[in-house]
């Protein structure tokens, strides 16, 4: 089979698709995580909590597939990244999975019994299922920016020299909190569209706090990245069409290198700009009681903040702090030329179909969850 796209182009496309998947996950399942994290606070009574749960009840399951597809697509397109990150962040990954496992069960089982303790227990399980993944994802991104302590031997077997607690440093906690703030804001944005009454009032309040926190943490995080001596740079000539072997491209740690791309390509500054503009728009929306604007703002915040991380690091995907020569980049960590192309064809065919029926599902479930429906609809959780 002759492949009509060269290897370098396919690697860039798959780097972009990696971003699309992460952003897709944040935009959709992100508000489910945020809503779950808000559940015990924005909803005080059982009926109020059911309003929140049923705001995401019909669609969260499809949203979660972005996460699962993310795992599968990283496996298929960036096998090194899949192998190194998930085995390196082993216990953190276990925390995320345990928390996420609580969600399907929590949504489905919570309202199956009228018992108040049963329901309160599941409410907190759902809270954990929303908060912990949001936090750990952010901490993980912080660690990716700093570089992870791993090395690859001659057979390209990975050895990791960090620990679970080692993942939590002041900077990575900051990125973790930024992730929580951003997703809680997004949850608030979604619930602004879907709820009414006292829940809506509280959601606006929490949304306001999350928006302000997002702006502050994003700014502090940016300053830290700029001045703390963080960053890696490709040293010497690298062949973007070369074989996927991390030992073949020399990378070195270089203070401030995460800002290089913005100097070379000023248009990339659009990403951090959106990262700030999004929460500001959401704030304006909350002030002006314009719920669509809140959700649009929180969505823009997600796109901006996640893109900022990706663009700052390009071509790096996962740098190594103890052996920069083992760092994974867009040029040395991908699948083979043929697999990238085949997977691109599959994506081009199926992703539009997925988006079409997802949009239809949202259309069917369109509208606010009313207090009346909560009490009358036998199909509601």
Partner 1 sequence: MISMAVVELSRLQFALTALYHFLFVPLTLGLSFMLVIMESVYVMTDRPIWRDITRFWGKLFGINFVLGVATGLTMEFEFGTNWAYYSHYVGDIFGAPLAIEGLMAFFLEATFVGLMFFGWDRLSKRGHLLTTFMVALGSNLSALWILVANGWMQHPIGATFNPETMRMEVTDFMAVIFNPVAQAKFVHTVSAGYVCASVFVLGVSAYYLLKGKHIAIAKRSFTVAAAFGLAASLSVVVLGDESGYALTENQKMKLAAIEGMWQTEPAPAGLTLFGLPSNSGRETTHEIKVPYVLGLISTRSLTGEVTGINQLVDTAKVRIAAGIIAYDAVETLKVDRNDLVAREAFERNKADLGYALLLKRFIADPRQADAATIEKAAWSTVPNVPAIFWMFRIMAGLGFAFIAFFATAFAFSSMRRFDARWFLKLALFMMPMPWIAIEVGWAVAEIGRQPWAVDGVLPTFLAASSLTVPQLWTTIIGFTLLYGILAVIEVKLMLATIAKGPERYVPWRPDSPAEPAPDFRAVPAE
Q: Is the CB of 157 or the CB of 266 nearer to partner 1?
A: 157
Residues 343-362 close enough to bind partner 1 by CB under 8 A = 343, 346-347, 350-351, 354, 357-358, 361
Residues 1-30 close enough to bind partner 1 by CB under 8 A = none
Answer yes or no whether residue 168 interacts with partner 1 by CB under 8 A.
Answer: no
Phi, psi for residue 220 in degrees, rounded to 5: -65, -45
Min dist. Cβ of residue 34 to partner 1 (A): 18
Q: Is the CB of 97 or the CB of 223 nearer to partner 1?
A: 97
Answer yes or no whether residue 84 interacts with partner 1 by CB under 8 A.
Answer: yes
Long-range contacts of 92-100 (CB under 8 A, 24+ apart): 92/136, 92/139, 92/140, 92/164, 92/167, 95/132, 95/136, 96/132, 96/133, 96/136, 96/137, 99/128, 99/129, 99/131, 99/132, 99/133, 99/136, 100/64, 100/67, 100/129, 100/133
Beta bridge partners of 98: none
Q: Is the CB of 54 or the CB of 261 nearer to partner 1?
A: 54
Min dist. Cβ of residue 121 to partner 1 (A): 10
From CA 235, how far away is CA 255, in angstroms rounded?
Answer: 13
From CA 206, how far away is CA 212, in angstroms rounded?
Answer: 10
Sort 380 into a burial class: Cβ within 10 Å, 0-12 / 13-18 / 19+. Answer: middle
Min dist. Cβ of residue 217 to partner 1 (A): 27
Answer yes or no whether residue 71 interacts with partner 1 by CB under 8 A.
Answer: yes
Min dist. Cβ of residue 193 to partner 1 (A): 17
Min dist. Cβ of residue 118 to partner 1 (A): 10
Answer yes or no whether residue 162 interacts with partner 1 by CB under 8 A.
Answer: no
- Among the listed residues 107, 206, 232, 276, the single contact to partner 1 using CB under 8 A: 107
Indicate the length of the chain as a whole number: 381
301: closest CA among 377, 212, 376?
Answer: 212
Region near partner 1 per CB under 8 A, out of 83-91, 169-177, 253-261, 264-272: 83-91
Min dist. Cβ of residue 282 to partner 1 (A): 26
Q: Write the binding mask 303 to 342 for partner 1: x where contact by CB under 8 A, - elsewhere.
A: --------------------------------xx-xx--x
């Amino acid at each position: 089979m002759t492949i009509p796209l060269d290897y370098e182009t396919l690697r860039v496309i798959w780097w972009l698709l990696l971003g699309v998947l992460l952003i897709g996950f944040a935009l959709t399942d992100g508000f489910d995580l945020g809503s779950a994290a808000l559940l015990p606070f924005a909803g005080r009574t059982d009926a109020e909590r059911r309003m929140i749960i049923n705001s995401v009840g019909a669609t969260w399951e499809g949203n979660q597939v972005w996460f699962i597809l993310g795992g599968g697509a990283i496996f298929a397109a960036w096998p090194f990244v899949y192998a190194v990150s998930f085995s390196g962040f082993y216990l953190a990954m276990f925390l995320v999975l345990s928390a996420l496992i609580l969600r399907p069960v929590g949504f489905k089982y919570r309202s199956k019994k009228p018992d108040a303790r049963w329901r309160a227990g599941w409410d907190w399980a759902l809270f954990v299922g929303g908060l912990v993944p949001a936090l750990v994802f952010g901490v993980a991104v912080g660690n990716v920016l700093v570089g992870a302590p791993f090395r690859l031997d001659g057979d390209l077997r990975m050895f990791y020299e960090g620990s679970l607690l080692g993942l939590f440093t002041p900077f990575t906690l900051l990125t973790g909190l930024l992730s929580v703030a951003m997703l809680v804001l997004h949850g608030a944005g979604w619930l602004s569209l879907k709820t009414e009454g006292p829940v809506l009032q509280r959601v606006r309040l929490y949304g306001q706090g999350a928006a302000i926190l997002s702006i502050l943490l994003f700014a502090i995080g940016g300053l830290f990245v700029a001045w703390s001596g963080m960053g890696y740079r490709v040293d010497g000539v690298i062949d973007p069409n070369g074989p996927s072997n991390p030992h073949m491209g020399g990378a070195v740690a270089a203070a401030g290198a995460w800002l290089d791309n913005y100097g070379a390509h000023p248009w990339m500054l659009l990403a951090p700009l959106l990262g700030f503009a999004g929460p500001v728009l959401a704030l304006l929306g909350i002030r002006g009681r314009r719920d669509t604007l809140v959700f649009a703002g929180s969505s823009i915040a997600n796109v901006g903040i996640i893109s900022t991380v990706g663009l700052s690091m390009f071509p790096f995907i996962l740098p190594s702090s103890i052996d920069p020569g083992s760092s994974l980049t867009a040029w040395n960590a991908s699948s083979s030329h043929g697999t990238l192309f085949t997977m691109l064809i599959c994506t081009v065919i199926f992703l539009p179909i997925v988006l079409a029926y997802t949009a239809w599902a949202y259309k069917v479930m369109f509208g606010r969850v009313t207090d009346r429906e909560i009490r009358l609809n036998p199909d509601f959780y």
